[in-house]
Amino acid sequence: MTVYSSPATPPRKALSILDLAAMKQRGEKISCLTAYDASFSALLDKVGIDVMLVGDSLGMVIQGASSTIPVTVEQMVYHCRCVSQARQRGFVIADLPFLSYATVTAAVQNAGRLMQEGGAQMIKLEGAHAEIIRFLVDFGVPVCGHLGLLPQSINQLGSYKVRGKEQPEADKIIADAQALEQAGISLLILECVPAALAKTISLLLKIPVIGIGAGVDCDGQVLVLYDMLGISLGKRPRFSRDFLQEAGSIEAAIAHYHHQVKNSLFPAVEHSY
């Protein structure tokens, strides 16, 4: 197989929200991976990964919890600071963890901490909370929405299965995506939805749509870093792929992922629903 290496001199200018919007406009796929520490942040940056998501998935892959529920704002701020300090180019998004945006006041305070102390350029929150999003956006907080499978709702959902397979739920996800765009989100993550639904939403929205388990037609892709390196605890999800197994080094694995996303080669049909 071809071994992909990092570009020798990737551009060092920090990406902004405008660069991500421009990528969608010119049809360039956005590559994104989760990151939780400075070493991986620097490596992702070296390879040219566009977006680093400090995901609350750190509860599972760093802390060994069975869900993202136990993750605190304090922990998110800590990991976000580790990532943002080491990056030069990649755009840093941080998750607001479980119940940290249940009221407008909490959302503003906690988003403020992630941006001021953690160095996040954008915050992400799960679900169709248009009112809270509108408020954050009005006060200058860039927001990434997250629809489809919502891991913070696992105790209500009961399982991590694909969402939007039936028409009524698919219609609701489309309506929610449009409402969130209206409310001012700048980016949307769609998790574990049928590829056809993700394609419809990506075409409908003007903002970039980043998929995870959502097919190849999204405007970009994200994976949990430890899943795509094959080192997560437990079974790797069907939508992910062990890039390290094929690459031989961590840097080559990440570079291969980046190349596959940029060229619409990942995800393949077998990683999609």
187 belongs to the binding site for ligand KIV (CB under 6 A):
no
How many chain residues touch ligand KIV (CB under 6 A)? 11
CA pair distance 222, 262, nearest whole angstrom? 12
Q: How many of the other CB atoms lie within 10 Å of CB of 201?
A: 26
CA pair distance 72, 77, nearest whole angstrom? 9
189 belongs to the binding site for ligand KIV (CB under 6 A):
yes
Long-range contacts from 55-61, C-beta under 8 angstroms, 24+ separation: 55/95, 55/124, 55/224, 56/95, 56/97, 56/98, 56/151, 56/152, 57/151, 57/224, 58/34, 59/97, 60/232, 60/233, 61/34, 61/36, 61/224, 61/225, 61/226, 61/227, 61/232, 61/233
The C-alpha angle 238, 127, 228, rounded to 5 degrees, equals 25
Dihedral sign computed on CA atoms, order 75, 183, 52, 140: negative
Q: Pick one of 195, 212, 216, 261: the residue that binds ligand KIV (CB under 6 A).
A: 212
227 belongs to the binding site for ligand KIV (CB under 6 A):
no
Catalytic pick among 126, 166, 181, 191: 191
Token code pair at residue 98: 């479980």
The DSSP code sequence of 240-257 is ---HHHHHSSHHHHHHHH
Is 131 catalytic? The answer is no
Query: Which residues are paired to 147 by β-bridges?
Result: 190
- Residue closer to ligand KIV (CB basis): 45 or 191: 191
100 belongs to the binding site for ligand KIV (CB under 6 A):
no
224 belongs to the binding site for ligand KIV (CB under 6 A):
yes
56 belongs to the binding site for ligand KIV (CB under 6 A):
yes
- Residue closer to ligand KIV (CB basis): 4 or 227: 227
The dihedrals phi and psi of 146, each to the nearest 5 degrees, come to: -150, 115
Contact flags string 117-136 toward ligand KIV, x per CB under 6 A: --------------------
Q: Pick one of 50, 95, 176, 181: the residue that binds ligand KIV (CB under 6 A).
A: 95
50 belongs to the binding site for ligand KIV (CB under 6 A):
no
34 belongs to the binding site for ligand KIV (CB under 6 A):
yes
Minimal distance, residue 160 CB to ligand KIV, in Å: 10
33 belongs to the binding site for ligand KIV (CB under 6 A):
no
Q: Pick one of 55, 97, 142, 208: the residue that binds ligand KIV (CB under 6 A).
A: 55
- Residue closer to ligand KIV (CB basis): 4 or 36: 36
209 belongs to the binding site for ligand KIV (CB under 6 A):
no
Note the residues at the interface with ligand KIV (CB under 6 A). 34, 53, 55-57, 95, 189, 191, 212, 222, 224
Active site residues: 191
